[in-house]
């Protein structure tokens, strides 16, 4: 069974540009999460989808970040326009239906560098 | 508020030594889940264990063992007879059951280096 996949693995962009990150969850996993780790800090929650609906987006830093999950399958996270402080590793995770304490399976992350 | 503290930033041990990674958590909830994840050099976070707050029984899986103590709000992880392949960053995480969803709150991670 394929795990969570993320694309690209690494992206280097200039300040002010747009970047779109993609996450493909494990098949059958209704729950999809985005997290981010800024250098030297904790991995922090960004948002949670249940199928195509945003269950919780309390961790989204500002309106430059837009997440979508059309059709309840893969998800994209767009940063527009990117700022220097957006640099970090963006992780995607998925879990089985139901929201109570199910283990989340993580992808390898996308390392975003904004210069 | 939820918080997870991993006070050890980096640990180096020689192969075959035992090593314990500390994790202390804070939560107001009486029902919660604790997790450990491993991040090898390849980058993905690998799930190791989930423990709910009502189960304080310690768990052993091969060379891995976990010690959960509610009295001290700790969920420590011990690797016995460490191997080079254990070198990774290890994250402890907390999830509160009654939040309506289960975003994980992570510690900063402990980088373990096992030297041959």
Give A26-71 pLDDT, tens digit per residue: 998 999 999 999 987 899 999 999 999 998 999 999 999 999 998 8
Interface with chain A: mutation pick from B25, B30, B43, B98, highest number of A CBs within 10 Å: B43
Q: What are the phi and psi torsion angles at B75 (to 5°)? A: -145, 80
CA-based nearest distance A43→chain B, Å: 6
Rg of chain A over Cα atoms, rounded to whole angstroms, equals 13
Residue B109: its chain A contacts at CB < 8 A? 42-43
Strands B24-26 and B3-5: antiparallel
**Chain A residues with beta carbon closer than 8 angstroms to that of B101:** 48, 50, 55-56, 99
- Give the residue ranges of chain B where pLDDT is below 50: 100
Chain A residue numbers with beta carbons less than 8 Å from the beta carbon of B40 are none
* pLDDT tens per residue, range A4-19: 999 999 999 999 999 9
Instruction: List the one residue out of B99, B94, B113 whose CA is nearest residue B37.
Output: B94
Average of per-residue pLDDT across A97-111: 82
Residue B42 · residue B83 · CB < 8 Å: no
Based on the number of CB atoms within 10 Å of its own CB, is A75 exposed (0-12), middle (13-18) or buried (19 or more)?
buried
């Amino acid at each position: 069974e394929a795990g969570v996949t993320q694309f690209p693995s690494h992206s280097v962009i200039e300040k002010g540009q747009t970047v779109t990150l993609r996450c493909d969850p494990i098949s059958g996993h209704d729950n999809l999460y985005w997290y981010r780790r800024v250098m030297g800090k904790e991995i922090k929650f960004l948002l949670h989808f249940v199928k195509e609906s945003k269950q919780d987006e309390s961790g989204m830093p500002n309106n430059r970040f837009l997440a979508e999950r059309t059709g309840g399958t893969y998800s994209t996270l767009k940063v527009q326009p990117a700022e220097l402080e957006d640099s970090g590793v963006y992780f995607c995770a998925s879990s089985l239906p139901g929201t109570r304490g199910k283990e989340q399976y993580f992808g390898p992350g996308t390392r975003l560098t904004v210069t | 508020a939820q918080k997870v503290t991993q006070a050890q930033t980096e640990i180096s041990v020689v192969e075959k030594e035992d090593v314990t990674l500390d994790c202390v958590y804070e939560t107001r909830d009486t029902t919660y889940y604790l997790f450990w994840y491993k991040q090898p050099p390849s980058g993905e976070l690998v799930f190791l264990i989930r423990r709910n707050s009502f189960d304080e029984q310690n768990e052993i899986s091969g060379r891995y063992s976990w010690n959960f103590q509610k009295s001290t709000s700790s969920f420590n992880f011990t690797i016995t007879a460490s191997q080079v392949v254990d070198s990774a960053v290890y994250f402890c995480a907390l999830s509160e059951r009654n939040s309506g969803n289960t975003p994980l709150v992570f510690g900063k991670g402990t980088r373990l280096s096992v030297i041959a």
